[in-house]
Chain A
Amino acid sequence: AQSVSQHNHHVILSEAASLELGCNYSYGGTVNLFWYVQYPGQHLQLLLKYFSGDPLVKGIKGFEAEFIKSKFSFNLRKPSVQWSDTAEYFCAVNSKGRRALTFGSGTRLQVQP
């Protein structure tokens, strides 16, 4: 069974700090990987996704993620966070033949002005 682990449950940063949120998945075969963001009171929105090709994926709002197959990881990064990045971030994975995405438990990011 596929599973996703997000080890950072709550991260607090100051504006302009760099961000890296960890995501590890358990499935050994071909996977598709996603990061979603949920701003306070809003629905989930796609930040970026990896299907194949270049393992460094760039998404919206200056976010990027790197797929490292040997480490089963898909960490999310941003060089300089803003107060408006305060949100909850979810990593998700899907493998071939699975019906739907499996989500991690989420990381709550709080950016202080």
Chain B
Amino acid sequence: NAGVTQTPKFQVLKTGQSMTLQCAQDMNHNSMYWYRQDPGMGLRLIYYSASEGTTDKGEVPNGYNVSRLNKREFSLRLESAAPSQTSVYFCASSGGGPFSGNTIYFGEGSWLTVV
């Protein structure tokens, strides 16, 4: 059972380039999330998807777009990368919203550097 799988694990981009981070979960979860982790700031929510076909902005959505392709997959796209987007990105999923008692499971992270 793979859980939450993210690709790529490492990526270096030049300013202005675009890329998509892929995420898939095999736990039949409804909710999926993208967080970014920066030193001293913990994890901040970028986007959230409560179910297939729905997405909502989190704390720091600017510069990102997401697609909930189906129940399993939730991708994060950087249209024009900026150095401020250098971060570690975590995808996560849960059976329902976290207030419903469901544990959130995280992927292993994607290290993105924008030069």
User: Which A residues fall within an 8 A CB radius of B?
Assistant: 4, 6, 9, 32, 34, 36, 42-46, 49, 51, 90, 94-106
Closest 4 A-B residue pairs measured CB to CB? A103-B42, A103-B43, A105-B42, A44-B106
Of B41, B42, B58, the contact of A100 (CB 8 Å cutoff): B58
CB-defined A-B contacts under 8 Å, sample of 5: A32-B101, A99-B45, A100-B48, A102-B45, A103-B42
A99 touches B56 (CB 8 A): yes
A43 touches B50 (CB 8 A): no
Q: Once bound together, how far apart are the Cα atoms of A32 and B96, in whole Å?
A: 14
Residue of chain B at shortest CB distance from A30: B99
B40 touches A100 (CB 8 A): no
Question: How many whole Å from A64's CB to the nearest CB in chain B?
Answer: 18
Residue of chain B at shortest CB distance from A45: B106
A43 touches B107 (CB 8 A): yes
User: Could you say which of A42, A51, A103 has the most chain B C-beta atoms within 10 Å of its C-beta?
Assistant: A103
A100 touches B107 (CB 8 A): no
Complex interface residues of chain B between 36 and 52 (CB less than 8 A to chain A): 40-45, 48, 50
A100 touches B103 (CB 8 A): no
Question: How many whole Å from B107's CB to the nearest CB in chain A?
Answer: 6
A32 touches B106 (CB 8 A): no
Q: Mark B85-106, 1 if CB is under 8 A from A, else 0.
A: 0000010100001110101101
Q: Once bound together, how far apart are the Cα atoms of A102 and B42, in whole Å?
A: 9
Query: Inside 8 A of B97's CB, which chain A residues have their CB?
Result: 94, 99-100
Q: Once bound together, how far apart are the Cα atoms of A100 and B100, in whole Å?
A: 11
B103 touches A95 (CB 8 A): no
Q: A44-B43, A90-B42, A105-B40 are known; give 19 further A-B pairs, CB within 8 A.
A: A4-B42, A9-B40, A34-B98, A43-B4, A43-B107, A45-B106, A49-B103, A94-B99, A99-B48, A99-B56, A99-B97, A100-B98, A101-B98, A103-B42, A103-B43, A103-B44, A105-B41, A105-B42, A106-B42
Known: A32-B98, A98-B99, A99-B56. A44 touches B42 (CB 8 A): no
Known: A32-B99, A94-B99, A99-B56. A43 touches B106 (CB 8 A): yes
Complex interface residues of chain B between 13 and 47 (CB less than 8 A to chain A): 33, 35, 40-45
